[in-house]
Amino acid sequence: MDSHFRGDDVGFRDAAWDLVRRERSLKHNILADELERILAAASPQDSKAKSFLRTLSPSNGNLPKDKDKNANLIELSDPAREMGDLVLAPDLRVRLDRVIAERRGADLLHSHGMQPISKLLYCGPPGCGKTVAAEAMAKELYLPLATVRFDAVVSSYLGETAANLRKVFEFARLRPVLLLFDEFDAIGKHRTAFDEHGELKRVVNSFLQLLDGFHSETLTIAATNHQGLLDTALWRRFDDILFFPKPTTEQIESLLCRLFSQITLSKSIRIRAVADSLEGLSHADVERIAQDAIKQSLLNDRREVRPDELDAAIARQMERVRVTNLHQESEVEIKPAARRARKTR
């Protein structure tokens, strides 16, 4: 109030967000939602997540730390990407929308003695949107994104990794965040794999216990591209398991249209034929090709992508995929037509 009459707008907003948090901690969710709606409408750029981050960042001492290295165990960020930015398989989008609807209707579900989805496993090949969809989910739900830093969590000291995991869950229990265990296989690999000293087994067991006993407003997402390596005991701990597949030709086409929306394409380039030739690649591969071609045309001082620039970008990315596959023994199937993008037009 004081800050309002002093004309201190920032102070007033901070105090208002504090009030939202206090009301929420008292489980006065309807009032908290209403206040939040008013605040968000008054300053759309000042998202709840941003405000929440502001209260945490001045004292990063709030973040859980590893005892040995004193490193932060999680990284907090204000999510930027939105669901609408993503090109997703229709059934996957339906399932993601369902999660969003359940989370938004949490109060209603609670009042009927039901819990909204709170633990998700995202799996699927690299570069098909697991991380970015977790970020977009945080944005949709106005939650700060708390990404677990495995480099800090996994400790060489016996027992310390499990203690770190406990700290991470405790942090996420005390305030609602989107808790992301990205590239989760770092701790979730099959219990017998590489487990000479039994430490991995202990870590996975404590993760399972923590996940099982974890009930809070936080939405937990674990993401992996090695789902085959995960212990089956892990699977049933999740409320839903979402698979992020490689894009279909139609999805590649729509991705290319978005990626090239800011620049002119030469009239001789047929996006549909290009999309056909890129079947088998991931969203990230397609994005890299488009960016590579755009950069080349900008460096050539033009605002139009020529067919030879696009072909060169495709060839570079195909080579990169080939080399990566050699190392990863991945099963990416590249159609021979991919190398003939130009001729198929």
Q: Nearest approach, Cβ of 93 to ligand ATP (angstroms)? A: 10
Q: Judged by CB under 6 A, which of 32, 39, 88, 341 binds ligand ATP? A: 88
d(C-alpha 174, C-alpha 218), whole Å: 9
Q: Is 240 in the site for ligand ATP (CB under 6 A)?
A: no
In one letter, which amino acid is 63? L
Which residues in the 194-233 window bind ligand ATP by CB under 6 A?
223, 225
First to last CA, the chain: 66
- Answer yes or no whether residue 87 interacts with ligand ATP by CB under 6 A: yes
CB of 27 vs ligand ATP, minimal distance in Å? 34
In the complex with ligand ATP, the residue whose CB is nearer, 64 or 124, is 124
Residue selected from 64, 126, 280, 307 as contacting ligand ATP according to rule CB under 6 A: 126
Residues counted in the chain:
345
Nearest to 80 by CA among 36, 47, 106: 47
Tally: H helices and E strands in the chain: 16, 8
Q: Pick from 64, 79, 129, 280: which binds ligand ATP (CB under 6 A)?
A: 129
User: Residue with structure tokens 């969809």?
Assistant: 133
By CB under 5 A, the residues from 126 to 165 that bind Mg ion are 130-131
Which one of 96-104, 129-137, 156-164, 187-195 is the stretch in contact with ligand ATP (CB under 6 A)? 129-137
The residue from 218, 283, 338, 341 that contacts ligand ATP (CB under 6 A) is: 283
The site that binds Mg ion (CB under 5 A) totals a number of residues, namely: 2
Q: Which does 87 bind (CB under 5 to 8 A by kind): Mg ion, ligand ATP, none?
A: ligand ATP
Q: Is 130 in the site for ligand ATP (CB under 6 A)?
A: yes
Contacts 24+ apart (CB under 8 A), 204-208: 204/231, 204/234, 206/162, 206/165, 206/166, 207/162, 207/165, 208/233, 208/234, 208/237
Asked if 79 is part of the footprint of ligand ATP (rule: CB under 6 A), the reply reads no
Size of interface with ligand ATP, in residues (CB under 6 A)? 18
Q: Are 132 and 81 in contact (CB under 8 A)?
A: yes
**Does residue number 297 form part of the binding site for Mg ion (CB under 5 A)?**
no
Instruction: Map residues 33-72 to x or -, x wherever contact with ligand ATP holds by CB under 6 A.
Output: ----------------------------------------
Contact set for ligand ATP, span 251-280 (CB under 6 A): 255
| Nearest alpha carbon to residue 181 among 201, 156, 204 | 204
User: What are phi and psi for residue 67, nearest 5 degrees?
Assistant: -65, -40
- Report strand pairing: 74-77 vs 240-243: unpaired
Segment interacting with ligand ATP (CB under 6 A) among 59-67, 127-135, 156-164, 324-332: 127-135
Output 201-210 pairs: Cβ under 8 A, ≥24 positions apart: 202/159, 202/162, 203/154, 203/161, 203/162, 203/165, 204/231, 204/234, 206/162, 206/165, 206/166, 207/162, 207/165, 208/233, 208/234, 208/237, 210/165, 210/166, 210/169
Each residue 284-303 as x (binds ligand ATP by CB under 6 A) or -, in order, gives x--x----------------
Q: How far is the CB of 130 from Mg ion (least distance, A)?
A: 5
Among ligand ATP, Mg ion, none, residue 126 binds (CB under 5-8 Å by kind): ligand ATP
| Residue ranges binding ligand ATP (CB under 6 A) | 86-88, 126-132, 183, 223, 225, 244, 255, 283-284, 287
| Residue ranges binding Mg ion (CB under 5 A) | 130-131
